Amino acid sequence: MESILDTELVQRAQRGDSPAFDELIIRYQKRVSSLVYRYVEDRDCASDLVQDIFLKIYTNIKRFKGDASFSTWLFRIAVNDCIDYKRRLKVRRETSLDAITEKGFDPRDDRQDAQIEMGLLTRIENKRIRSLVDQLDPDQKMILVMKVYEEMTFEDIARVMGAPLSTIKSRLYKALDNLGKDLRRLQFIERTAP
């Protein structure tokens, strides 16, 4: 079974061959789980989402026409499910960072001191970085997860997201840029804190 191509397994699964469908799950379960977990950062939610995604794959596999590869189709479903989930849960939280922005702090004002100090990052709790990542736009966060953690190529990400390469890179730039700005604000707080 391991040597069989995805396309053949999909055809068999479409004819109702359960072992073929199981083999497809075995092939992709780890990657999909990893992607979803990295995105939602909650074990239970990730497990439930993965179950839902594969259930969706199972119920829709007959509609898969092979226009894209099976993995692209599968990841597109996974990505859409994750983004939908996040949008439903999205609760905009006011943080001290917003308060600082309102007061008029601009990282550029402090550029001399705000040179990249990677070491300082260790002073910033992981939780805070996670919270910043979580505040990103759902699309931006998904691209970040696919690129940084899943190490997917930009071309694959573009196929999965159904967007041009330039859009993917631009969204990723905005995600990292926003993170960089927020981190500098945090560094500013760390430096000025007693």
Partner 1 sequence: MKHLSEEQLIDLVFEETKDSQSHRHSQSCGECRERLDRIALGLHAVRSLDLEPIPLRKPLTVRFLRSRRWRWVGWAAAASFLLLSLAGTRFELNQGQMSVEFAMFGTQQLNDDEFENRLKGVEADMLSAFQLHAEMMQMQVDDRLNALYAEHTQQMRELSRQVEDDIKSVDYQNGDMIASMRDDVYSYIQSEKVRGRTP
Which residues contact partner 1 by CB under 8 A? 18, 21-22, 25-26, 29-30, 33-34, 37-38, 41, 43, 45-47, 50-51, 54-55, 58, 89, 91, 93, 95-96, 99, 111, 115-116, 118, 121, 124, 126, 129-133, 144, 147-148, 154, 166, 169-170, 172-181, 183-184, 189, 192-194
63/93 with CB nearer partner 1:
93
Show the tokens assigned to 70: 């099976």
Single out the residue of 87, 90, 92, 100 nearest to residue 183, CA to CA.
100
Instruction: Provide, rounded to whole angstroms, the least separation between the CB of residue 40 and partner 1.
Output: 10
Instruction: Provide, rounded to whole angstroms, the least separation between the CB of residue 78 and partner 1.
Output: 14
| Helix locations, the chain, DSSP H | 6-14, 18-40, 43-60, 70-89, 96-103, 118-121, 126-134, 138-144, 154-161, 165-192
87/111 with CB nearer partner 1:
111
- Asked if residue 179 lies in contact with residue 121, where contact means CB atoms within 8 angstroms, the answer is no
- Asked if residue 102 lies in contact with residue 50, where contact means CB atoms within 8 angstroms, the answer is no
14/68 with CB nearer partner 1:
14
Instruction: Provide, rounded to whole angstroms, the least separation between the CB of residue 8 and partner 1.
Output: 19
- Asked if residue 157 lies in contact with residue 147, where contact means CB atoms within 8 angstroms, the answer is yes
Show the tokens assigned to 19: 């072992």
Q: What are the Cα distances from residue 173, in Å, to 34, 108, 142, 143? A: 23, 18, 13, 10
68/176 with CB nearer partner 1:
176
Instruction: Provide, rounded to whole angstroms, the least separation between the CB of residue 183 and partner 1.
Output: 6
47/68 with CB nearer partner 1:
47
Instruction: Provide, rounded to whole angstroms, the least separation between the CB of residue 63 and partner 1.
Output: 18
